[in-house]
């Protein structure tokens, strides 16, 4: 197989990351923007020892799972990769990808993966955009990186953003200024009634009737319609056992801690971002919650010193909600030393989650359940809530 070869291929499934997978003479070929059961003519764009990659030249026979993408920039912008696949099938694809990750990486035989919880709506759900802006000779460009990750796709509207973000993108473009050729990044939050505050550097969000303030350059769950469901599921799993002592690792602005406070005797929240800790403390004080202590520092180091060492064997529940790259080695070592009775692991990356769960099961935990939530429709990403219990 050579570069620029034209080949015929039938797509078998969608791999984690969003590309279609097929075989030519039993050799694996990945094809972006393909759908299961597509019969395609492709051009080979990359050849490796164990796989190749191709681009679609012609759809010979379209998969019955195909739908028309809503976005005018689809297949140019690198943000979405599933708009051409029916939403019901997207959910099935993501559930299977979670299963495969925990079988292949987590070494879990027949993992108990529930059906993926859908997002309603599946478009215009994002409450935050991180855009790239550049002043070009032809004028300002504001949008997202293309599928190669090297150029900015200038967009007028994004179909997965809440509409007030699209309005802001238009106004920013109209008033754009700056040095030509210098790229900058802009964070744009949605501006729903009651959801945004005018105080500089501070964003207000409401979840299940509670106010949460977060730094404008900080993190908060992006799906405006599924965050409450995620909180409900974490609470439900937390209430499956005792809650005298709870440790919330990577706690951010305190989302899970505040909702678990009525059920627990004492909660410790650990977060490395000082701004996030300040907002977490403010959010707890505003709700008059007295049984949470927030600690600023590296989670692994904090867990292995001070008062946490006295909690060894006494932690009823430890919650993990790490960034995409998963838990640090020090956090996993601390968990092994402290031996919490139960773990709830919330992740936006089932690959790193499965890797970490493998280490946790090796240190004495059983994986009880996996619940995918489609916090990121039309994209390759999926949120997963895992419950682990000590043997």
As a whole number of angstroms, the distance between CA 379 and CA 81 comes to: 5
Cβ contacts of residue 290 below 8 Å, gap of 6+?
none
Q: Is 296 a catalytic residue?
A: no
Per the residue annotation, which of 88, 131, 348, 389 is the catalytic one? Answer: 348
Query: Which H, E and C letters describe the chain, residue by residue?
Result: CCCCCEEEEEEEEECCCCCEEEEECCEEEEECCCCCCCEEEEEEEEECCCCEEEEEEEEEECCCCECCCCCCCECCECCCCCCCECHHHHHHHHHHHHHHHHHHCCCCCCCCECCCECCCCCCCCECEEEEEEEEECCEEEEEEEECCCCCEEECCCCCCECHHHHHHHHHHHHCCCCCCCCCEEEEEECCCCCCCCCCCCEEEEEECCEEEEEECCCCCCCECCCHHHHHHHHHHHHCCCCCCEEEEECCCCCHHHHHHHHHCCEEEEEECCHHHHHHHHHHHHHCCCCCEEEEECCHHHHHCCHHHHHHCCCCCEEEECCCCCCCCHHHHHHHHHHCCCEEEEEECCHHHHHHHHHHHHHCCEEEEEEEEECCCCCCCCCEEEEEEEEC
Q: Is 348 a catalytic residue?
A: yes
As a whole number of angstroms, the distance between CA 127 and CA 191 comes to: 8
Per the residue annotation, which of 159, 162, 233, 383 is the catalytic one? Answer: 383
Residue 188 near residue 129 (C-beta atoms within 8 A): yes
Residues marked active site are found at 348, 383
């Amino acid at each position: 197989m050579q570069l620029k070869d034209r080949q015929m291929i039938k797509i078998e499934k969608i791999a984690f990351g969003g590309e279609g997978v097929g075989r030519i003479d039993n050799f694996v070929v990945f094809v972006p923007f393909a759908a299961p059961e597509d019969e395609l003519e492709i051009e080979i764009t990359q050849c490796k020892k164990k796989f190749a990659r191709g681009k679609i030249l012609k759809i010979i026979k379209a998969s019955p799972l195909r739908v028309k993408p809503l976005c005018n920039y689809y297949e140019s912008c690198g943000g979405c990769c599933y708009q051409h696949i029916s939403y019901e099938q997207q959910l099935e694809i993501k559930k299977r990808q979670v299963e495969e990750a925990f079988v292949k990486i987590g070494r879990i035989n027949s993992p108990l993966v529930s059906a993926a919880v859908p997002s309603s709506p599946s478009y215009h759900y994002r409450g935050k955009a991180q855009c790239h802006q550049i002043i070009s000779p032809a004028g300002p460009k504001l949008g997202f990186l293309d599928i190669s990750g090297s150029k900015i796709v200038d967009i007028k509207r994004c179909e997965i953003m809440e509409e007030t973000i699209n309005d802001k993108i238009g106004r920013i473009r109209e008033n754009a200024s700056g040095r030509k050729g210098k790229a900058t990044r802009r964070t744009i939050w949605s501006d729903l009634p009651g959801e945004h505050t005018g105080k500089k550097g501070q964003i207000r969000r409401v979840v299940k009737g509670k106010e949460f303030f977060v730094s404008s350059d900080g993190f908060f769950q992006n799906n405006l319609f599924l965050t409450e469901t995620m909180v409900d599921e974490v609470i439900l799993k937390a209430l499956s056992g005792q809650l005298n002592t709870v440790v919330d690792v990577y706690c951010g602005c305190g989302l899970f801690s505040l909702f678990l406070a009525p059920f627990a005797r004492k909660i410790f929240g650990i977060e490395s971002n000082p701004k996030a800790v300040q907002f977490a403390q403010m959010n707890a004080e505003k709700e008059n919650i007295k049984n949470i202590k927030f600690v600023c520092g590296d989670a692994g180091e904090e867990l292995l010193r001070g008062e946490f060492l006295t909690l060894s064997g006494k932690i009823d529940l430890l919650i993990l909600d790490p960034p995409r790259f998963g838990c640090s080695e020090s956090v996993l070592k601390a968990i092994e030393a402290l031996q919490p009775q139960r773990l709830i692991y919330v992740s936006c990356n089932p690959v790193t989650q499965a890797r970490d769960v493998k280490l946790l099961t090796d240190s004495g935990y059983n994986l009880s359940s996996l619940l995918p939530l489609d916090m990121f429709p039309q994209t390759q990403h999926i949120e997963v809530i895992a419950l682990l219990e000590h043997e």
